[in-house]
């Protein structure tokens, strides 16, 4: 398993090659992080074809605007997650306005052993998953709606029928618990 | 860290759940390079990344890496760009059939206006015996798409003999001709697209056969050849789908043309009867032995889970029956064909309403467009 230092070094080398305009470097980044990023996009947009378009856009953005990524501010995967999530939420909002959004249930890939090949620490992923599952369902639901559906406090209050104060307080509490779990882990392999 | 924002605030900031002004204010603060806040924010980002990591892993299609490589090396793409869901919302055959119908409809209209124009000229000529009329350019005669002796469209309105009406009719003829030319050009585009797609597909089949031959002969690196084979197979599948779609479009065109050229029909214009219809208009053609065709234009985009549904109104007890759901395209075009098997006897009027997605058993939505047969 790679630790944060290994990942940072690997990211730096890959970005150096991208700066030198080596096309294969982008493919190497894609091979390393593509599946993770795709899974997030698909979770948000629920449509493989659209998710693959957004996936390509995300990696092309890294190629075209590599100077926007600052290794001092976080891991490359973090940056890719952020760009991908923004792209996916943007797509989702537009589709929602057009009335084309169909929610479908997405099953996980049965090849769970893939997790072990991933740069993300299995320990971290499972710890957060467990922590998320352990949250009171109202907190978990609100955090998932905010993260995967891109809803703001006010939109969450409107959708759930809870007061704005309740929504804010539940999200704050839930996120604090997740942050504490991460803080308690000796190794966080995202960085 | 400032007193103003704590860890919990940076969690919310990273989540993107704050209102826009607060989100912007915190973004500005990060730009001041406040170390404590930056650190807190970065820790919050780890929480978000961990949330992303809770998603069950999914594999993207294997051709994506090739497509990325092609796009950044500016080479001719190995993979046909994925067609966007948004763009594919406008079904090509709907648009093409609508073009065919529009072209024919405009042809009929053109003939009617030309008839009016001829009557006007005759009146003007008679009047000129006593008083010289204003010179009016002679419009080119448009070919009729429906045999004159078989047309049963509305009779021409009584002509008023004055020069301004002749000028207005001449302008209308020119406008209709231009619209008809555009519709016919779009129709030709569908035919060209089909020819090009068939050619592209044939070329792909040749490339695929050649790549398979190279693999069999062991002439190339197995890994790269297999990747190429996979990309070519994918392109071929997409090309086959495009050809099938365009063939369906061509078949629909033929059906529409056949409908209007094979005998008499009744025609009705549907007009907006509700502000929700905006500037939408529609025209329907009905022949008991060939069924009902309807073409709508400028239909407003429906918010939420709604669709346009066509209803037939019948003389016997003024029964209202659903004809079906309109197929629509992104430009506000709508189209529906009801085969002759559908019982449309004693049809007196048609109406279009907005209904929940999937349609309603009985009309409950807003009556947006309405037209009664003469």
Give residue A27's pLDDT.
Answer: 92
ipTM: 0.82
Give the pLDDT confidence of B273-327 residue by residue, as tens digits.
998 899 898 888 888 888 888 888 889 988 778 899 999 988 766 678 888 888 8
**Cβ–Cβ of B86/A94 closer than 8 Å?**
yes
**Which one of A13-17, A45-49, A67-71, B41-45 scores highest in mean pLDDT?**
A13-17
Contact A47, B63 (CB under 8 A): no
Give the pLDDT confidence of B203-218 residue by residue, as tens digits.
887 877 777 777 777 7
Give residue A111's pLDDT.
Answer: 39
Residue B35 with chain A: CB contacts under 8 Å: none
Give the pLDDT confidence of B218-249 residue by residue, as tens digits.
766 666 666 777 777 777 777 777 777 667 66
Residue A152 with chain B: CB contacts under 8 Å: 16-19
Residue A112 with chain B: CB contacts under 8 Å: 57
The rounded distance, in Å, linking the Cα atoms of A58 and B269 is 49
Average pLDDT over every residue of A70-92: 88
Q: Which of A85, A24, A21, A11 is nearest to A55 (CA)?
A: A85
- Chain B touched by A73 (CB under 8 Å): yes
Q: If contacts are CB pairs under 8 Å, which of residues 294-323 in chain B contact chain A? A: 301-306
Give residue A4's pLDDT.
Answer: 65
Residue B54 with chain A: CB contacts under 8 Å: 125, 128-129, 132
User: Is pLDDT at B136 greater than 80 in this prediction?
Assistant: no
Give the one of A111, A128, A147 whose C-beta lies nearest to B15's C-beta. A147
Question: Which residues in B24-50 are b (16+ Cβ under 10 Å) and which e?
Answer: eebeebeeeeeeebbebbbbbbbbbbb
Contact A145, A156 (CB under 8 A): yes
User: Is pLDDT at B166 greater than 80 in this prediction?
Assistant: no
Give residue B261's pLDDT.
Answer: 66
Give residue B62's pLDDT.
Answer: 86
Residue A96 with chain B: CB contacts under 8 Å: none
User: Is pLDDT at B75 greater than 90 in this prediction?
Assistant: no
Average pLDDT over every residue of B13-25: 86
- Higher pLDDT among residues B110 and A105, named by residue: B110
User: Is pLDDT at B25 greater than 80 in this prediction?
Assistant: yes
What is the least distance, in Å, from the CA of A91 to any CA of chain B? Answer: 10
Average pLDDT over every residue of B189-216: 77
- Higher pLDDT among residues A29 and B321, named by residue: A29
Average pLDDT over every residue of A70-86: 88
**Which one of A32-46, A114-128, B19-33, B302-316 scores highest in mean pLDDT?**
A32-46
User: Is pLDDT at A61 greater than 80 in this prediction?
Assistant: yes
User: Is pLDDT at B253 greater than 70 in this prediction?
Assistant: no
User: Is pLDDT at B156 greater than 50 in this prediction?
Assistant: no
Give residue B8's pLDDT.
Answer: 85
Q: Which domains does chain B have, with CATH numbers?
A: 7-53 (no CATH), 92-259 (no CATH), 266-372 (2.60.40)
Give residue A109's pLDDT.
Answer: 40
Q: Which domains does chain A have, with CATH numbers?
A: 1-107 (1.10.1740.10), 121-191 (1.10.10.10)
What's chain B's average pLDDT?
73
pLDDT band at residue B2 under the 50/70/90 scheme: low
Residue with token string 């882990």? A185
Residue A47 with chain B: CB contacts under 8 Å: 85
- Chain B touched by A175 (CB under 8 Å): yes
Percent of chain B with pLDDT over 90: 6
What is the least distance, in Å, from the CA of B14 to any CA of chain A? Answer: 9
pLDDT band at residue A50 under the 50/70/90 scheme: confident
Give the one of B8, B38, B54 whose C-beta lies nearest to A176's C-beta. B8
Give the pLDDT confidence of B330-369 residue by residue, as tens digits.
777 788 888 776 677 788 899 999 998 888 888 888 999 9
- Higher pLDDT among residues A25 and B240, named by residue: A25
- Chain B touched by A75 (CB under 8 Å): yes
Q: State the Rg of chain B over Cα.
A: 30
Helix, strand, or coil here: B271?
Answer: strand
Give residue B350's pLDDT.
Answer: 93
Give residue A90's pLDDT.
Answer: 86
**Cβ–Cβ of B64/A85 closer than 8 Å?**
no
Nearest residue of chain B to residue A167 (CA atoms): B17
Percent of chain A with pLDDT over 70: 77
- Chain B touched by A26 (CB under 8 Å): yes
What's chain A's average pLDDT?
79
């Amino acid at each position: 398993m790679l630790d944060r230092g290994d990942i940072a070094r690997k990211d730096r080398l890959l970005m150096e090659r991208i700066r030198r305009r080596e096309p294969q470097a982008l493919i190497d980044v894609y091979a390393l992080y593509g599946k993770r990023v795709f899974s997030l996009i698909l979770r948000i947009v629920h449509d493989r074809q659209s998710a693959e378009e957004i996936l390509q856009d995300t990696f092309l953005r890294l190629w075209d605007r590599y100077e926007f990524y600052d290794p001092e501010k976080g891991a490359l995967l973090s940056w890719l997650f952020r760009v991908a999530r923004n792209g996916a939420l943007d797509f989702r909002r537009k589709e929602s306005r057009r009335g084309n959004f169909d929610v479908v249930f997405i099953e996980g890939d049965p090849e769970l052993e893939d997790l072990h090949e991933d740069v993300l620490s299995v320990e971290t992923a499972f710890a957060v998953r467990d922590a998320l599952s352990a949250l009171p369902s109202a907190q978990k639901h609100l955090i998932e709606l905010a993260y995967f559906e891109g809803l703001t406090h006010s939109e969450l209050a409107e959708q759930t029928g809870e007061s704005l104060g309740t929504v804010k307080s539940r999200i704050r509490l839930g996120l604090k618990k997740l942050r504490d779990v991460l803080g308690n882990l000796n190794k966080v392999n995202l960085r | 860290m400032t007193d103003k924002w704590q860890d919990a605030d940076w969690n919310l900031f990273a989540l993107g759940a704050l209102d826009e002004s607060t989100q912007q204010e915190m973004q500005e603060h990060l730009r001041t390079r406040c170390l404590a806040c930056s650190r807190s924010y970065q820790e919050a980002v780890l929480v978000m990344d961990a949330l992303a990591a809770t998603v069950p892993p999914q594999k993207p299609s294997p051709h994506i890496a090739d497509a990325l490589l092609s796009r950044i090396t500016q080479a001719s793409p190995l993979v046909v760009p994925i067609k966007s869901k948004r763009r594919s919302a406008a079904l090509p055959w709907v648009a093409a059939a609508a073009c065919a119908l529009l072209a024919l409809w405009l042809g009929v209209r053109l003939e009617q206006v030309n008839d009016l124009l001829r009557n006007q000229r005759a009146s003007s000529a008679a009047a000129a015996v006593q008083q010289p009329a204003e010179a009016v350019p002679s419009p080119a005669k448009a070919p009729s798409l429906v045999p004159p002796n078989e047309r049963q469209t509305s009779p021409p309105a009584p002509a008023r003999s004055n020069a301004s009406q002749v000028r207005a009719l001449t302008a209308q003829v020119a406008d209709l001709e231009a619209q008809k030319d555009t519709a016919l050009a779009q129709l030709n585009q569908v035919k060209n697209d089909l020819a090009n797609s068939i050619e592209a597909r044939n070329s792909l089949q040749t490339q695929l056969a050649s790549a398979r031959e190279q693999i069999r002969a062991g002439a190339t690196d197995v890994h790269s050849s297999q990747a190429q084979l996979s990309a070519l197979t994918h392109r071929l599948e997409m090309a086959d789908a495009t050809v099938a779609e365009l063939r369906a479009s061509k078949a629909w065109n033929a059906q529409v043309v056949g409908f209007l050229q094979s005998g008499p029909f009744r025609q009705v214009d549907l007009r907006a009867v509700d502000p929700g219809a905006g500037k939408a208009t529609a025209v329907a053609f009905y022949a008991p032995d060939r069924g009902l065709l309807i073409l709508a234009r400028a239909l407003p985009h429906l918010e939420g889970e709604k669709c346009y549904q066509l209803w037939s109104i019948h003389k016997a007890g003024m029964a209202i029956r659903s004809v079906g759901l309109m197929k629509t395209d992104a430009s506000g075009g709508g189209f529906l064909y009801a085969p002759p098997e559908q019982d449309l006897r004693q049809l007196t009027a048609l109406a279009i309403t907005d209904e929940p997605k999937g349609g309603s058993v009985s009309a409950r939505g807003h009556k947006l467009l309405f037209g009664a047969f003469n």
